Chains A and B, each alone.
Chain A
């Protein structure tokens, strides 16, 4: 019997089909819709509308700010955790890591809902009334809660790969604890920081489930916008989606996510 042999090219066909139908065509469709009007004529009307409407501009700014705060808070919490776990000699540190990551396995909507209930009951306590209307605070809190594992994991993986003798070398050469941190640990964990930031920053700009449920529907982020437009006006929706894509592209560009493999160790885009 002849054993069928697949060349590398034939093995690529399913992926090529996937890429064409689920990536390239949808992109073209969005591009087409974004730059046409209801009569399907070429038009920059949506583009101009977006940038001349202060509510839309402020939404994009709010989304950016919320995503930024979420990312920074996640980084501040995750970095020490990852650092301690990666450097500890604990035999069961994987268990501790799992405890941080495990919430990911519980349904996302359920977690956010539970958080909302907790906030609600807390807000009814005397002295905690402010919490009822602290919509932005609750939104950011929920996002940090949800996205923290995505920050911890890449940080931990990167830091674990750092050769411990580098810390010793730094101390040996006269570096104090702070020197070792800022000149060895931090630069070497940069790839982990970058991928953690991308994995938290982008979803927190678009994940409107959290802002809807925790922000009393008072917090609108750009993802919510897209969702709403696609109910009535695909053309505007496509334009917003396109603008978001450009924002994401630019932020990845600036954070160096497109750099070639050469200098990148560890998880990155």
Chain B
């Protein structure tokens, strides 16, 4: 038997024109508890639904035990689902709900006739077999004797258990759970987490779990697949995902993090917050990096002993620890500690080298494909920006009729010329006045970097992303206008080689 029970190969899914899953590949080991974790709209539920067969991939393959099941309908897959809002049949009682799948099932029985010849028959399960299996399933979820109850008389937690029983009674190879605990209150959720884990252990089948709750994912899973924006950001054990986040998105999404812009200043030496720190990750000298430090990896000490010194600006009690925010110069740093500090107190902070996680920044500059218009502006990312077209040809100028005259006196009409547009993040500003900039988009991500926020703004039509640092606090999903000063738009000709020839 194959070790990989499910394997996704380059799976892509569009809903109409919307890209929901972008070329996702991964595998799931037999018997493991795997969790798809990500914010809402990240594609985790769609991925689950494609494994269940409710949605079909636009391209790519889904292999079950090595066999392609991409286009198989849900009733032909040895997979059962626990739905988000349970989807119990309201017109059937508990017994009939759980028996639903068993009544659809056909088993192959071997018989011997008078002459001693063997023959096989596809048969329904007998009433007794069904009743026994339902009874066992109800025992497993601790609801013995509930057979005759009507669904509407059950509490949310009981309905949840019935939904689990209805799925596992069919002895699926994989159990899919789509945010199954989302509708329960906190205490009930914690209980069910433990119980699900218990059921997983007892059955030994593969569980694929979908949640947006990072704590739930860390508690329950053997493996976590962190997704955002239809892409797998990181796959790993809870420990490795927490301790070694692959990028700032993962660091920000899982647990609390301090994220800073840093620069390598020497071998295993990184500079951030205005100081140099020894670290364990190594990058090229002078390379810019994202620095992630977990609040619990920072220790507090006397101001003169610390690598950083600052002033406590807020203290929040969190039950088992205090969350202390410290102002260090212009940076805000969050520290978690079992000791409390007073607001206004001066303290020092130290970070051990292995508490500093460095990662290559995903975005250092903004690159777009653009086209020059008749008015010598450049069109890209759903918008039109004023620019200096003379930069395309060194030494050129514009004549009275706005034609470009190159250094050697050639007259060029630039209309429809394809260009490459580069804009540095720090050159972009945003505004809530839709008319102010060249294009508009929605803020899809905000990450706090100690002294500023890093935003990603996505335009509506072409879904181009702008990475923009800002000091102001915006909200996710805000519609903003992207302002770029004329002289900051760097243009270069595309396919210059071909044109010369």
> Which A residues lie at the B interface, using CB under 8 A?
163, 165-166, 168-176, 179, 183-184, 187-188, 263, 265
Contact = CB atoms under 8 A, between A and B. Distances in A.
Contacts of B166: 173
A179 B74 contact: no
A122 B73 CA distance: 48
Contact of B75 (A176, A263, A265): A176
B52 A172 contact: yes
B74 A172 contact: yes
Contacts of B91: 187-188, 263
A248 B147 CA distance: 37
Nearest to B76: A174
14 contacts: A168-B87, A169-B88, A169-B89, A171-B53, A171-B73, A171-B74, A171-B75, A172-B52, A172-B53, A173-B101, A174-B75, A175-B104, A187-B91, A188-B89
B146 interface: no
A204 B105 CA distance: 44
Contact of A172 (B75, B85, B90, B105): B75
Contacts of A187: 91
A165 B79 CA distance: 16
A163 B86 CA distance: 11
A172 B84 CA distance: 14
Contacts of B53: 171-172
Given A173-B104, A176-B104, A165 B170 contact: no
Contacts of B170: 173-174
B75 A165 contact: no
Residue of A168, A169, A179, A187 with most chain B CB atoms under a 10 A cut-off: A169
Interface string B44-72: 00000000111000000000000000000
A202 to B, nearest CB: 26
A154 B424 CA distance: 60
A166 B84 CA distance: 12
A27 to B, nearest CB: 36
A174 B75 CA distance: 4
A171 B104 CA distance: 10
Contacts of B54: 168, 171-172
Contacts of B74: 168, 171-172
A165 B101 CA distance: 15
Interface residues on B, range: 20 to 34
A23 to B, nearest CB: 34
B272 interface: no
B104 A174 contact: yes
B81 interface: yes
A187 B96 CA distance: 13
Contact of A169 (B73, B79, B87, B105): B87
Interface string B372-412: 00000000000000000000000000000000000000000
B186 to A, nearest CB: 25
B90 A169 contact: no
B249 interface: no
A176 to B, nearest CB: 6
A223 B74 CA distance: 52
Contact of B104 (A179, A188, A265): A179
A165 B49 CA distance: 11
A184 B75 contact: no
B80 interface: yes
B87 A173 contact: no
Interface string B85-107: 10111110000000011001100
Given A171-B53, A263-B91, 17 more contacts: A163-B85, A165-B83, A165-B85, A166-B89, A168-B54, A168-B87, A169-B81, A169-B83, A169-B87, A172-B52, A173-B104, A173-B166, A174-B101, A175-B101, A176-B75, A184-B89, A265-B90
Contacts of A265: 90
Contacts of B87: 163, 165-166, 168-169
A35 B372 CA distance: 95
Nearest to A262: B152
B157 to A, nearest CB: 19
A173 B105 CA distance: 9
A188 B89 CA distance: 9
A163 B170 CA distance: 23
A183 B99 CA distance: 12
- Among all A-B residue pairs, the 3 with the closest Cβ atoms: A173-B101, A174-B104, A165-B87
